[in-house]
Amino acid sequence: MADKKQPIHQVAVAGASGRMGHMLIEAIRESGDCQLAGALDIPSSPAIGNDAAAFLGHASGVPVSADLRAGLANAKFLIDFTRPEGTMAHLRVCRDLGVAAVVGTTGLNDDQKAQIVDAARDIAIVMAPNMSVGVNVTMKLLEMAAKSLSTGFDIEIIEAHHRHKVDAPSGTALKMGEVIAQATGRQLKDCAVFGRHGTTGERKDGTIGFSAIRGGDIVGDHTVMFAGAGERIEIVHKSASRAGYADGALRAVRFLDGRKNGLYDMFDVLGLR
């Protein structure tokens, strides 16, 4: 039971019947300061109309709904780990209703990212391709390493995910590349190399290489290799479950409490600036 002295954060979950949605609902139920206030999913989901916590053998009193306004009516926060088109639709309603958002969706294009920046003029948003506390601490380590290893080392980012993931490289891998590029005074678009095939020629200095692996039920593994002459440094993060993402998302909810607008990321949430 939640401590009545603690503030109760009323949270809606998008993609409520998916794997990440289930993990978020379970984390909300187990938290002491959050309460499930809405559950959203696509109209074709077989879960529509069912109790959102039925998979836990628990009655939350919150039905899974495809009606965005109804699903967000009692919420102060939305957690969204869905797909770009869905996320944009959800954010439009959040903006209308004044609901803060935690966005972990990946595969967003530049126009969609610009729309999120615009929405943050009116509502508070935490957006990050990976909400895991460990991953974001890893990002900080990469920033430090990149500054010290900016010359004489080639950089490769290798990521592995489950066979159902639809975008590649992962949003986390791209964010790692952005952190490394920015730490060395560059833009990722100017130095990224995505995969290699055939006669590619000798590696160009200063490039950041990406490789993506898809298979089985891999939750998410990321390795960043700094390869120099006679030595190699590898910084690795491996996720064994989605629980870390859910925990980070709830930390983001708590961070947003009391904030009226603005766009933030997990470095802000975790005080890593």
The residues annotated as belonging to the active site are 161, 165
* Cα-Cα end-to-end distance for the chain: 34
Q: Are 25 and 246 in contact (CB under 8 A)?
A: no
Helix (H, G, I), strand (E, B) or coil at 144: helix
E-strand ranges in the chain read 9-14, 34-40, 64-65, 77-80, 100-103, 124-127, 153-161, 192-194, 208-214, 220-228, 232-239, 262-264
Instruction: List the one residue out of 86, 211, 215 whose CA is nearest residue 158.
Output: 211
Longest dimension (CA), the chain: 65
CA distance 78 to 103: 8
What b/e sequence results for 123-148 when a residue is b if at least 16 CB atoms lie within 10 Å of its CB, and e otherwise?
A: bbbbbbbbbbbebbebbeebbebbee
